[in-house]
Amino acid sequence: MELERISVVLRPRVTREAIDLGAAMLRANARAVWSAWFAFTLPVFVLCNAVGLLLDLPWLGWVLVWWLKPLFDRVPLYVLSRAVFDRPPRWRETLRGQAQWSWRSTIAGLTWLRIDSNRALRLPLDLLEGATRQQRSARWKVLRRRIVGDVSLLTYGCLQFELVVFLSFWLFALLLIPHEWQPESLAQVIRGDMPGIRPLWIVLGAGVAYLAMSAIEPLYVACGFALYLNRRTQLEAWDIDLAFRRMRTRIEALGKLLGVVLLCAGLLPALHAQTPAPPTGKVVTSSVDKIFGAPASASEQRFADSAAPVYRDPRFGGEHTVRSWQLKHPWKSGPQQTSPQFPALGLWLSAIFKGLLWLLLAGVLVTLGWFAWRWRGRWLGEPEAPAVASSSSLLPSESDELPLPDDLAQATRALWQSQHRREALALLYRGCVEHTTQLLQLPPSKDATEADWLRRADGMADTVRAQRVIAIVRTWQFAAYAGRYPDDATIEQLLQGWPAQPGAIA
């Protein structure tokens, strides 16, 4: 590896600082990364969704694009691994460079390692080092040490960010949709017939998921690559290696300068001599080979030969963990230790508190089970048993089976004057719905909502009757959902003419 050409400041960093370094690397090479990303992943996305539509399985494209993430991760890693040496490739070069890397690790990432939470750290090890399987296994045990938890948190954090971006788009789109055009409720969407959803909406959801993945996945790969560089810097002391290399360069330049100075000093007496004479002294030159006593090219071999016995020493490379209990705030300083005066009391108290905690846990589990049994019907979408409705509380959904009174206006007025305002408006709303259905010659429908009747009223040819239907529906909505009831004068206006009086002219 050409460490002299690396553009990243190599030094040991903490995990969070290394993740910030990955985000900075991605920002510096954003154009190269995302141009190659879309050039590689967009055709695959279109192909996967086309296959899903041809097989009449629209959700298949969504699943395939998510499953191929380890394949897509090769693209940003290729760009960033070249960009750290001040050579960010173009997207055509990135696509051609995928053939240079082995596909075995990618096949493993798409099969038995697909749900590996350490994929961001494993990817540079498999693709950049090019080691054998045994060497990769040994290096992975060392590389993942102490940071495996942080890499897993990075995976789950990026997955949550991707989910947030996906849901934010739909929530923002939902805010822009008028209330009359919104679906009846999320519960009906969740409990509804999922195969009945149009394939166009599934493909649109897959597109939004693809854009969310395109925004977060390169960041995930960049942070994993930065953790890989930081871990190798900690293990192999790259920062010290670079310092020694810079020192060697300075010594080489100083040796050349010293040789020139000594050569000039040796020739100076000869220039001042009266008669030419052969030089009696030898010109002393200095170089890196003479300073270190061996050719510079053999330094690495000498270091390896010297380090081999050290590596074979069983005391080298091991980790030892020693655990001991100490008082946080000792009362007496000194090596003497005092035994507790009442050891049995401490044992009894610990057993009592342990039993209380187990009882508390059992109570919580029983309470959760009771709530789950109590609300199982609502979670599973089972219809609840209809309650027995009294004559003074007839809502539209509860009084559909009862016939309308002959004089709708008089029955509504009687309920209103007897302080049953909600029941009166419910009766007027149901009568308006039935008379509007007869007027428009529509089939009876129990699933139509207030928004449906508002849309149907807009399509009525008689504008006066349409305005009456809208007024009655709006009045019922304000009363049923907001608790805002009209005054007596407004009720009298609604009870005049059609539909409260079906035979009257609107």
Look at residue 247 and give its three-state secondary structure.
helix
486 vs 472: CA distance, rounded Å: 11
Q: Is the dihedral angle over the CA atoms 89, 92, 93, 96 positive or is it negative? A: positive
* 125: nearest Cα among 145, 112, 146, 140: 140
Type of residue numbered 506:
A
Which pLDDT does position 168 carry in this prediction? Answer: 94
Which pLDDT does position 390 carry in this prediction? Answer: 36
Tell me 89's DSSP state. P
* 465: nearest Cα among 448, 477, 476, 453: 453
217 vs 120: CA distance, rounded Å: 10
Which pLDDT does position 307 carry in this prediction? Answer: 66
Which pLDDT does position 383 carry in this prediction? Answer: 47
**What separation, in Å, do the N-terminal and C-terminal C-alpha atoms of the chain show?**
88
Type of residue numbered 95:
L
Which alpha helices (DSSP H) does 6-130 contain, by range?
A: 15-28, 30-54, 58-67, 69-72, 74-83, 91-97, 104-110, 119-128
> Tens place of pLDDT for every residue, the chain, 506 residues?
555 567 677 788 888 899 999 999 999 999 999 999 999 999 999 999 999 989 888 889 999 999 999 999 999 999 998 888 878 889 899 999 888 888 888 898 899 888 888 999 999 988 888 778 888 888 888 888 888 889 999 999 999 999 999 999 988 988 887 776 665 555 555 555 445 557 888 889 999 999 999 999 999 999 999 999 888 888 776 556 556 566 666 666 666 666 677 667 666 665 555 444 444 444 444 444 444 444 545 556 776 677 677 666 666 656 667 778 777 665 554 445 555 566 677 778 888 988 999 999 999 999 988 888 877 655 555 444 443 333 333 445 445 557 788 788 888 888 888 888 888 888 888 888 888 888 887 887 777 888 888 888 887 888 888 888 888 888 888 888 888 888 888 888 888 878 777 666 65
Tokens matching residue 43:
């055709």
Quote the distance between the C-alpha of residue 20 and its chain's center. 17
Type of residue numbered 325:
W
260 vs 109: CA distance, rounded Å: 59
Is 45 within 8 Å of 53 (Cβ atoms)?
Answer: no
Which pLDDT does position 182 carry in this prediction? Answer: 64
300 vs 306: CA distance, rounded Å: 10
pTM, entire model: 0.52
* 13: nearest Cα among 125, 147, 111: 147
Q: What is the 3-state secondary structure (H, E, C) of 100-150?
A: HCCCHHHHHHHCCCCCCCCHHHHHHHHHHCCCCHHHHHHHHHHHCCCCHHH
51 vs 415: CA distance, rounded Å: 61
